[in-house]
Amino acid sequence: MFCSFSVKNFILIDELEIEFNKGLCVITGETGAGKSILLDAILFCLGYKTSNNIIKRGKDYAVVNIIFSLNAEIKNFLIQNFIEPEELLLVKCLQKAEGRKNFFINNQVVTKALMQQLATYLFELHGQNNNISLLEANTQRDILDSYGNLLDFRAELSKCYQTWQDTRKDIAEITLKQNSIEQEIDYLSFTTEELTKLNIQIGEEEKLANIRKDLQNKDKDLQLIKDILEQINNPEINTSINRAEKLLARQGDNERFEAIVTSLEEAYNNLEEARQELSNLLDSFNYEEYNLEETEERLFLIKAISRKYNVPADELGVFLDKSLEQLGILKNKIANSNELKAQEVLLQKKYYELASDLSAKRLIAAKHLEESLHQELKQLKMAKAIFGIEITAKKEPTAGGNDDIVFKASTNPGTAAEAINKIASGGELSRFMLALKTSLFDKMVKPSIIFDEIDVGIGGEVADKVGERLKKLSSVTQVIVITHQPQVAGKADLHIKIEKTQLEKETKITVKALNLDERQEELARMISGKTITEASLKAAKELLHCHPVDKPRDDNKEKL
């Protein structure tokens, strides 16, 4: 609800502050006193269109601050829009002389659009030239569903609709991408098959490169072994050693040749040992696990695959795992397509069944609401007014159902009913809104409702009935009323008076919360005009006696 309201340099206002209470707050003043300026200031602050010339003459800027109390819905809105909730909500609009407007929520700069969105959570305005919120198509639907206790049923329908639409979206995505998905499946199938078959291991490329280097060196060693064997296997070597040994043997036991004989024997044995070692080494070369040709073929294949997929050889295993995972996902998408289509058919059927049930329930609720509203309109001196709720099928299904809902009315006998927002008289329209609100009472209630001159063209008993309904409504929400009717003002919990003062060089507007004596005087003025009589004072006292309220604080007045 509105807690306080401050204005500076706005049209005819220098500076003022108003504090609001719960319940019914009335704003009164003579015609032309400037009551509409307060509404303009509220609309200005919350981002709605107002007069271009709002800065007081001779000033550089205009600023309006409004403080609201919070509820859970408003807190959620703030959090969703990344604004930190505080104990109270402060909204502000500052306009400078160059024409630029700046909007603030809790001292955080916001857009005009966001401020307007916030306003829909804060209050409703119904008046001569403004009807905010209640006349919107979605709001009319919400009114009917709230009246018929259909909000939970509609929530179930909305959930079904969202699931249905999500399923349709998934099917459309798969259908649109089916060719590319199938191509991707073919590519991944070939890739995974190729990599699985190759089974390239981590470190294999480096290992093969080292083996290749060793094998290339061993080819040279092999040729060397063969050449050496060819030389030491020469029969002439053995023959020469044998001849030398025989010549020395003929010398008998000649000590001078013993060492030479021993050396020749060792030479023969060493030569035989060398032959054996070279033969063994040659045999080992023939039974090697790798050969150069096969090694080079495998190594070149690994390098080619690495280049093909632009993946380092040691990461090909990870690449294979990811490819297998993606292949599984795509295959599941294709497999799920038929399942999704079957599910979509069931969801569509369920949606239309729920929507049909909701439409039937809305027709019943609409009839009861029409009857209730007719009774209220009779009490508000609009017995000949016609009110009806037109429900027609939408061209396309929505989360809110399959119905277009339009509130229609006619205030003049013989004229066809048309959309309620086309009713010419703002006062009549406001009374329609009051009748609706009274019928709903504790449903569809915003934290605050403002009625601007709801009582135009009425008086006496009808004005008293309007006041009673406003008072009843104020028990569940804050109601602010700009009124000319003493019967309405007499029922207020807070009475604010606006006065316009003509000075030598300028016109000033002052605002004051009235105490009990001041209220009696103001009500008397409203009854008899500028000349207050004993009779009007007595009548005012009777109005106040019927609806006593606490004395307001005297410090709640204009700051000069």
The pLDDT confidence band at residue 434, using thresholds 50, 70 and 90, is confident
The pLDDT confidence band at residue 364, using thresholds 50, 70 and 90, is very high
Q: Is the pLDDT of residue 546 over 80?
A: no
**How many whole angstroms separate alpha carbon 374 and alpha carbon 79?**
41
**How many whole angstroms separate alpha carbon 296 and alpha carbon 160?**
64
C-beta of residue 174 within 8 angstroms of C-beta of residue 181: yes
Residue 301 lies in a domain: yes
Q: Tens digit of pLDDT for each residue in 63-92?
A: 999 999 999 999 999 999 999 999 999 999
- Candidates 123, 125, 9; CA nearest to 64 is 9
Q: What is the DSSP letter of 441?
A: T
Neighbours of 264 (CB within 10 A): 17
The pLDDT value given to residue 25: 96
- Candidates 165, 30, 166, 41; CA nearest to 94 is 41
Residue 293 lies in a domain: yes
Mean pLDDT of all residues in 422-444:
73
The pLDDT confidence band at residue 558, using thresholds 50, 70 and 90, is very low
C-beta of residue 143 within 8 angstroms of C-beta of residue 368: no
Residue 313 lies in a domain: yes
More confident residue, 155 or 459: 155
Q: Tens digit of pLDDT for each residue in 270-318?
A: 888 988 888 887 777 654 566 778 888 999 999 999 999 999 999 999 9
Q: Is the pLDDT of residue 550 over 50?
A: no
Percent of the chain whose predicted confidence (pLDDT) is above 90 = 48
Distances (CA, A) of 366 to 144, 278, 383, 469: 7, 110, 19, 22
Q: Tens digit of pLDDT for each residue in 59-70?
A: 999 999 999 999
**How many whole angstroms separate alpha carbon 378 and alpha carbon 438?**
13
- The highest-confidence range among 166-180, 197-211, 340-354, 540-554, by mean pLDDT, is 340-354
Mean pLDDT of the chain: 86
Mean pLDDT of all residues in 396-407:
94
Q: Is the pLDDT of residue 556 over 50?
A: no
Residue 56 lies in a domain: no
Please report, as a single letter, which amino acid is at residue 444.
M
Q: Is the pLDDT of residue 376 over 90?
A: no
Domain count, the chain: 1
The pLDDT confidence band at residue 557, using thresholds 50, 70 and 90, is very low
Residue 190 lies in a domain: yes
Residue 277 in tokens? 């070692």
Mean pLDDT of all residues in 382-390:
88
**How many whole angstroms separate alpha carbon 187 and alpha carbon 403?**
49
The pLDDT confidence band at residue 33, using thresholds 50, 70 and 90, is low
- Candidates 44, 42, 14; CA nearest to 27 is 42
The pLDDT value given to residue 555: 44
C-beta of residue 361 within 8 angstroms of C-beta of residue 151: no
Strands 494-502 and 24-28: parallel
Residue 327 lies in a domain: yes
Residue 213 lies in a domain: yes
- Candidates 411, 440, 188, 483; CA nearest to 309 is 188
Q: Is the pLDDT of residue 559 over 60?
A: no
Q: Is the pLDDT of residue 128 over 80?
A: no
Neighbours of 320 (CB within 10 A): 20
Q: Cα 80 vs. chain centroid, distance in angstroms?
A: 7
The pLDDT value given to residue 287: 46
Q: Cα 453 vs. chain centroid, distance in angstroms?
A: 38
**How many whole angstroms separate alpha carbon 315 and alpha carbon 538?**
98
Q: Is the pLDDT of residue 427 over 70?
A: no
The dihedral through the CA atoms of 226, 232, 236, 242 has a sign that is negative
The pLDDT confidence band at residue 553, using thresholds 50, 70 and 90, is very low
Residue 488 in tokens? 């309405």
The pLDDT confidence band at residue 322, using thresholds 50, 70 and 90, is very high
Strands 89-96 and 61-68: antiparallel
Neighbours of 42 (CB within 10 A): 25
The pLDDT value given to residue 290: 66
The pLDDT value given to residue 129: 56
The pLDDT confidence band at residue 41, using thresholds 50, 70 and 90, is very high
The pLDDT value given to residue 409: 87
Q: Tens digit of pLDDT for each residue in 461-479?
A: 888 888 998 999 999 999 9
Which residues span the domain enclosing 190? 173-333
Mean pLDDT of all residues in 514-534:
91
Mean pLDDT of all residues in 396-411:
92
The pLDDT value given to residue 106: 96
Percent of the chain whose predicted confidence (pLDDT) is above 70 = 93
Contacts of 485 (CB under 8 A, 6+ apart): 455, 458, 459, 463, 466, 467, 526
3-class secondary-structure state, position 503:
coil
Residue 275 lies in a domain: yes
The pLDDT value given to residue 283: 76
Mean pLDDT of all residues in 493-516:
87
Q: Is the pLDDT of residue 482 over 50?
A: yes
* 494 burial via Cβ count (<10 Å: 0-12, 13-18, 19+): buried
CA Rg value for the chain: 49
**How many whole angstroms separate alpha carbon 475 and alpha carbon 456?**
24
Q: Which residues face 452 on adjacent strands?
A: 482
**To which H or E segment does residue 531 belong?**
none
HSE of 525 in the Cβ direction (CA atoms, 13 Å)?
Answer: 14
Q: What is the DSSP letter of 55?
A: B
* 370 burial via Cβ count (<10 Å: 0-12, 13-18, 19+): middle
Q: Which residues face 478 on adjacent strands?
A: 448
Q: Cα 266 vs. chain centroid, distance in angstroms?
A: 98
Q: Tens digit of pLDDT for each residue in 134-151?
A: 567 888 898 899 899 999
Please report, as a single letter, which amino acid is at residue 540.
A
